[in-house]
Structure 1
């Protein structure tokens, strides 16, 4: 942000205010475009990794009976996750294209808001979908035979067993979602903070 700070310093001194304010706007536009481009690139890499892992990772279902649930879940989970990924990838690309063609402070403010909204929706939808998949997977893993011996982790013979199972699944699901939320913060949170700073700087301009 050094270049932007220098421009703001000159602008505040009221030296050539129109030129300085335009320069600040162009600098913020450039930085915002760069941030949105990185959001698009990271989401593309994330979706690519997910697609490759789905294609090439196949657990040994014959030796682990509890993993048979993946035979039923693999196709629908893959289709839904790919559909979600492609939809938001398209949205991120549109945001990037739109910001690059912005020609006013008002439009750039609107585009930054739209980008932030898209990122939040992307994270929330992914976490919601993941929580459902994790909960269902854990339920079948805990209540079906683990191996050829027929051992089951949770024998659901009483209401107490169901309560313990529910709390175990909830705890494990919350833990997984917490880890994913932390990773999303590292991937997108830092970029969003930069975008927020750009948004706040734009609001100070009065062109």
Structure 2
């Protein structure tokens, strides 16, 4: 075991950093696009069904096929991988944001309006905080998806822990497979834990007390 880490330790570390880089930016793009879009769609019901239907259809495209489709447009490397993973992150974040915002009791909106808040102020100060647990649940799910699917990015030269996994498979080296698989699992669990802690901080205290 010691010899293995002496030989591959630096590679595991560098591949983990690449994996985090790809996953982080794909998830960040997903949040930047899907959360505002999900909020906006609650104001346009007919458009919402179409947009969510399209994102659901994109989710059904096999991961490798989507990665391959990126190559003619963006070449190989990290950029097409990030874009493909970004597409996969959209549905859970968009759907949960939409559901969370739609489930906010209209009484809260009426109170906000009665206090003289504009529609935007109501969304930012009242509706989003109330919907935060549902929105964060979508982000946490997307994070786990993205980290897991990022292993396939090595097929298009993006690097990451998938390089170790597929190298181990191709060369019949179980140690390399475990060296790639275990860090991916740890990263997924760590991301879920950290986002759960963030959710706890962003959720209004009154809402947490009511859930308890």
Instruction: Give the TM-score range, shorter chain.
Output: 0.3 to 0.5
Give the TM-score of the pair, scaled to structure 2. 0.43
Structure showing greater Rg: 1
